Amino acid sequence: MCGIVASVTQRNVINILVKGIKKLEYRGYDSAGLAIINDQKNIMRIRCVGKVNELIKKVKEKNIFGNIGVAHTRWATHGKISKENTHPHISSNIVVVHNGIIENSSQLRNFLIKKGYIFYSETDTEVIAHLLHWEQNKKKEHLKTAIQKTIKQLYGNYSMVVIDQRSPSELIAVRSSSPLVIGLGSEENFVASDQIALLDVTKRFIYLEEDDIAIIKNREINIFNKRNTIIHRKEMYSNIQYNTVEKTGYRHYMEKEIYEQPESIRNTLKYRLQENNTVYFSELEKKEKKLLKNLENIQIVGCGTSYNAAMVAKYWFESLVNIPCHVEIASEFTSRKPAISKNTVLITLSQSGETADTLLALRYAKKLNYLGNLTICNMEGSSLVKESDLCLLTKSGIEIGVASTKSFTTQLTVLLMLVAQIAQIKKKTHIEKKIVQNLYMLPIRIENVLKKDQSIKIIADQICDKNNVLFVGKGELYPIAIEGALKLKEISYIHAEGYPAGELKHGPLALIDQNTPVIVIAPKNALWLKIQKNIHEIALRDGLIYIFSNYNDYHENNTFFIKLPYVEELIAPIFYTIPLQLLAYHVALNKNRNIDQPRNLAKSVTVE
């Protein structure tokens, strides 16, 4: 969360900052700001509450010029959403933009107030700026030394970029927990929280590693590690196509990403499904296969949508390869001491690979008695990937909409392939074959269900003025009900909950009335008869029922049937996710919500 862009160049830095920070809006959109040092060596700062477009308007009014600058889009953690709390924060000659949380900021603030510093904001970031100024001026230190002395006193996470009016030809970037990438230009260089902010200006990147400090000038970059030794970090060339970060004709990124799912899944399956109906992961060499061979239990951790994907996988691991699987929300996993069964492998799930709660869960698990760990992630080079024993990448491409869509379905795709891989290792070849055959069909099945968009839009029109919506499913479709409810609440702000269909009578039935739509996910499968009983229970209480299925013989008043195409049972959870994403999308569209940037949320949750 929070997006940082910075640059030192020979042209006007403003455009680079503004265009870059606009691309990072998915990381936070409470407020945005920038600061530059101009030709007269003055710091010029512009800040405003709201989206980056507000900042752009203000920047246009001011007509400022400078060769070095920093910009920030904020997701507030310390201090309310206000102009005063918007980054950059300044202490005399020092300018700071920051992504993270300083846990001991109140103690440091008290110390600095005693030293005479005046605080203009409630943020922890202003504490960094003043402390840095204090350290720099105590013994007239060089900025880098002052930064090193400052961060020794900070508890928490402090990825940041600093500029100093006294040395206006260098940026200093510090990485702590949240990602920072250096973009390499010709006689100009850049820094950002995510390379997509810089694709307009470069394709060459260096990812900073934990605790790195980089001094970045026009023609020179020096990176120091924790021990203050100059260190070489690998340069990489980005293959991300520019249009993958554009809306290309769609109204919203979320809509684009929903429609990209057949292709994202094809990319995820590519080279991994073999013609002889086996699965092949190039990532798995002898050592990794041994880990999978020895595993007897699985523990999965994730947050939000990733947690819901993990819940589906539990059904698959247990029913298809007979491996006990526990699933837990990452922040809860680290809040207790888990009892670990013999030979348990920990699996972490995260789109960005930077989700702080999940990363902390991995670090915590490493101190416990797990057989090993594996991550399923969309971002190569992310912290989770770097810190895990093994990584299986989802290949969904960049996801910008804050509400996850294609990253959920590609996570499920990889999880199902992992089940097939375990089946192969455990010599259950019929299971492996069945999974592979079903997965081959998945992109086509999704293309078919996407054609139902208009019928789903009709349902969306009917439910968009309701205050509560229930989603129910059974078996591995139950977590899909939870995911459907999560999508709806995230982007439409309608209260929604997902329940196991059989659980309604134990409480939630009390919520049923003619104004509470119940979305029932009920494909014709082995559980179909059972869920029919639950539908009847809702109908008897005058519930407003929407049945999503390929088959229906329930024709009562107040019951609507959304006929969906056929899908193989194994891949049904992935398939049934799509109409629920479309439903949430159309409801939010109807309500004129900010679909790609729902209130209070941000993608890539890099704070605990």
Q: Which is nearer to ligand HGA, 31 or 421 (CB)?
A: 31
Which DSSP string do the residues of 85-143 spell out, in sequence order? Answer: TSSPEEETTEEEEEES-BTTHHHHHHHHHHTT----SS-HHHHHHHHHHHHHHHTT--H
| 238 contact partners, CB below 8 Å, separation of at least 6 | 195, 199, 203, 204, 205
- Least Cβ distance, residue 30 to ligand HGA (angstroms): 8
| 40 contact partners, CB below 8 Å, separation of at least 6 | none
The answer to whether 268 touches 439, Cβ cutoff 8 Å, is no
Q: Which residue is nearest to ligand HGA (CB)?
A: 1
Our measurement of the distance from residue 528's CA atom to the centroid of its chain's CA atoms, rounded to an integer in Å, reads: 34
- Least Cβ distance, residue 191 to ligand HGA (angstroms): 15
Q: How many alpha carbons lie under 13 Å from residue 580 in its C-beta half-sphere? A: 42
Q: Cα(558)–Cα(545) distance, rounded to whole angstroms?
A: 6
Write out the two tokens for 591. 């309500």
Helix (H, G, I), strand (E, B) or coil at 454: helix
Q: Which is nearer to ligand HGA, 446 or 607 (CB)?
A: 607
DSSP category for residue 513: S
Q: Which is nearer to ligand HGA, 356 or 391 (CB)?
A: 356
- Least Cβ distance, residue 121 to ligand HGA (angstroms): 8
Q: How many alpha carbons lie under 13 Å from residue 348 in its C-beta half-sphere? A: 38
Q: Which is nearer to ligand HGA, 420 or 607 (CB)?
A: 607
Q: Which is nearer to ligand HGA, 104 or 448 (CB)?
A: 104
Q: Cα(407)–Cα(174) distance, rounded to whole angstroms?
A: 29
Per-residue burial over 295-332, b if 16 or more Cβ lie within 10 Å, else e, is bebbbbbbbbbbbbbbbbbbbbbeebbebebbbbbbbe
User: Under the rule (CB under 6 A), what is the footprint of ligand HGA?
Assistant: 1-2, 28, 74-79, 98-101, 123-125, 606-607
- Residue 192 to residues 198, 199, 469, Cα–Cα distance (Å): 7, 11, 40
Q: Is 451 an active-site residue?
A: no
Residue in the block written with tokens 């940041």: 160
- Least Cβ distance, residue 131 to ligand HGA (angstroms): 14
CA dihedral angle for residue 470, residue 473, residue 479, residue 483, rounded to 10 degrees: -40
**Residue 262: is the preceding peptide bond cis (ω within 30°)?**
no
- From the list 2, 48, 325, 391, the catalytic residue is 2
Q: Which is nearer to ligand HGA, 31 or 394 (CB)?
A: 31
Strand ranges inside 513-607, DSSP E: 517-521, 544-549, 559-563
- Least Cβ distance, residue 74 to ligand HGA (angstroms): 5
Q: Which is nearer to ligand HGA, 126 or 135 (CB)?
A: 126
Q: Is 530 an active-site residue?
A: no
Active site residues: 2, 603
